Amino acid sequence: MGIETTVHLNFEDEAREALEFYRSVFGGQVVAFTYGQAQDVEHPADTDRLAWGEVRTEAGFHVMAYDVREDQTYDAGDRPFFVSVRGDDTEEIIRYWKGLSDGATIMADLGPSGWAPLYGMLKDRFGVIWTLDIAANHGG
């Protein structure tokens, strides 16, 4: 087996809702494990928060998420990272764009760009910034 890089998103009591939303856009299954299930509850408010969760599809989409504990600070920041979804099927990228656009702030409309035949950027309703594009052939 090689190496796999996966985005791991941190939330404050929204991880399960975010994972369900991403599953509704990309498909796949949500796997979620709470602090209560892990018998790792330091504060009662953590019982139903996610200690670990993920959505994974057969097409290769994979994102992980958890909820910070009650006693931990949380600051999503302004632009700490982007989640990039790149493909070669225009209809598939448009379908994902439409799904993620629900409740989102559009930062760059989905359309042609100087580096890709199709590119767009949005901040979803959970504050996560996504870039979606069609991979361009730059002769390399």
The domain that holds 124 is classified in CATH as: 3.30.720.110
Q: Would 129 be classed as within a structural domain?
A: yes
Digit-by-digit pLDDT tens for the chain (140 residues) are 576 778 999 999 999 999 999 999 999 999 999 999 988 888 999 999 999 999 999 999 999 999 999 998 888 887 777 899 999 999 999 999 999 999 999 999 999 998 889 999 999 999 999 999 998 775 55
Q: Would 139 be classed as within a structural domain?
A: no
Q: Would 2 be classed as within a structural domain?
A: no
Q: Would 72 be classed as within a structural domain?
A: no
Question: Is residue 96 classed as helix, strand or coil in its secondary structure?
Answer: helix
> 1, 106 in Cβ contact below 8 A?
no
pLDDT value for 138: 54
**CA–CA separation, 120 vs 31, rounded Å?**
28
pLDDT value for 80: 72
Strand 62-67: give its sheet, edge to edge.
7-11, 62-67, 50-56, 29-34
What residues are paired with 11 via a beta bridge?
A: 67
Nearest to 96 by CA among 64, 57, 66: 57
Among 38, 67, 96, identify where a domain stops.
Answer: 67
> How many domains are there within the chain?
2
Q: Would 125 be classed as within a structural domain?
A: yes
pLDDT value for 1: 56
Q: Would 90 be classed as within a structural domain?
A: yes
Q: Would 115 be classed as within a structural domain?
A: yes
Q: Would 140 be classed as within a structural domain?
A: no
Cβ neighbours for 46, distance < 8 A, ≥ 6 positions apart: 35, 36, 67, 69, 70
- Do 48 and 88 fall into the same domain? no
**CA–CA separation, 82 vs 65, rounded Å?**
14
Residues of the domain holding 47: 7-67
- Do 61 and 100 fall into the same domain? no
